[in-house]
Amino acid sequence: MEQYKVKPVTLLTTTADKSGFTYMAFPGVPLKLDVPIFFIEGTPNKSGKVLIDTGTYAESMRKYWPGEAEDVKSFEDALREEGMTVDDVDIIIHTHLHHDHCVNTSKCKNAKVYVQEDEWAFAMAPHPLQSQYYPKEIYQGWDLRLIRGDHELFPGLEILHTPGHTPGTQSIAVDTAEGKAVIPGMCCIYQTFQDPREVLGEDHPFGHWEVFSQSIATDMNQSYYSNLRLKTFADVIYPCHGPGYCEKTRPYLEK
C-alpha cells in the first residue's frame, strides 16, 4: 500500500468568528485562522509532490474578506523550502475556487489543475451571495482537468466530491503512516469536527447534531452530510483553516 505524507504550510493568518465554522454555535468567539497550502509528499509525478491549493497573500485577502490578514510567508518561499519553484509544480488539486485557496495558481505555468466540473461552472456564474469569493480575474492561464465526482488520482490518493460549502468542494484522502488522512475541502477548522453533544451538551438545542457545519454554504444540508462523511472514516484530519499550523494560530486550538 502506498503511503504519503501531508505537510501543511501557512502562508498567512486571518480572523473570523468561530460560528462561521460551527453553524450558529459559539457566536462572538474570535479566532485567528491559518490560510495554508498542503504538500502531499511521495507521489509518483515528476516533482514527487502534489500541491493542495495555492493560497493567497494578505493584500489580496483584504480585497475580498472583511477580517484582518497578516502574511506569514510567500508562496514562492514556501515552495523554495520544499526545494521547488513555481515551474516545478506539476499537479495542483483545488479544494474549491474561493480566492483564498487559489490566488497563486496562475504562477504555476506547468501545473495540471484538478477542479470539480460543478465548481468551475459555479465560479463562472456565482450566486450574488457568493460572488465576492470568486473573482474571475484570478482564473487565468490554468491547464484545467475538470473531474466529476470521486476520482482516484494515484493509488492511495483519492479526490472526494464533498459538496455543500460550494457546489464543487472536493476533499483529499490519502494513505499515510498514521492511517487515512483527510484534507477537508470545505472552509473548516478542527472544531468543526468535534462532537456537538460533547462540547455543547446533550440538552443544548444543537446537541443532537453529529457534526458541525459551515455558515458559508451553497447548500447547508449537503455541507452537514459532507462533513459527516469525512468524520466517519478519517483517522487524521487537516482542516483547511487549522488553526494551529503556525505559532500565531496555535493558541486558538483551545477556543
Asked if residue 49 belongs to a domain, the reply is yes
Looking at the domain assignment, is residue 253 inside a domain?
no
pLDDT tens digits, one per residue of 186-210? 999 999 999 999 999 989 999 999 9
pLDDT band at 67 (very low <50, low <70, confident <90, very high): confident
In a domain, 100, yes or no: yes
Confidence tier at 19 by pLDDT (50, 70, 90): very high
CATH number at residue 53: 3.60.15.10
Asked whether residue 114 is domain-assigned, the answer is yes
Task: Single out the residue of 172, 166, 145, 167 nearest to residue 234, CA to CA.
Answer: 172
What average pLDDT is seen over the chain? 97
Residue 38 lies in a domain: yes
Q: How many CA atoms lie within 13 A of 39 on its CB side?
A: 20
Query: Residue 38: which domain range?
Result: 5-246
Give the gyration radius of the chain's Cα atoms: 17
For 190-212, b/e burial (b = at least 16 CB within 10 A) is bbbbbebeeebeeeeeeeebebb
Of 34, 185, 218, residue with least CA distance to 114:
185
Q: What is the mean pLDDT of residues 218-234?
A: 97
* Residue pair 68/128 in contact by the 8 Å Cβ criterion: no
Question: Mind listing the pLDDT tens digit for each residue in 25-52?
Answer: 999 999 999 999 999 999 999 999 999 9
Q: Is the pLDDT of residue 1 over 70?
A: no
Give, in order, the Cα–Cα distances in Å from 219 to each of 4, 6, 85, 223. 32, 29, 37, 6
* Domain presence at residue 252: no
Q: In this structure, is residue 83 part of a structural domain?
A: yes
2 — pLDDT class (breaks 50, 70, 90): confident
CA pair distance 27, 109, nearest whole angstrom: 42
Instruction: Give domain status of residue 251, yes or no.
Output: no
Nearest to 139 by CA among 126, 120, 125: 120
Task: Confirm if 40 and 6 have CB atoms less than 8 A apart.
Answer: yes
Give the total number of structural domains in the chain: 1
In SS3 terms, the chain reads as CCCEEEEEEEEEEEEEEHHHCCCCCCCCCEEEEEEEEEEEECCCCCCCEEEECCECCHHHHHHHCCCCEEECCCHHHHHHHCCCCHHHCCEEECCCCCHHHECCHHHCCCCEEEEEHHHHHHHHCCCCCCHHHCCHHHCCCCEEEEECCCEEEECCEEEEECCCCCCCCEEEEEEECCEEEEECCCCCCHHHHCCHHHHHCCCCCCCCCCCCCCCCCCCHHHHHHHHHHHHHHCCEECCCCCCCCCCCCHHHHHC
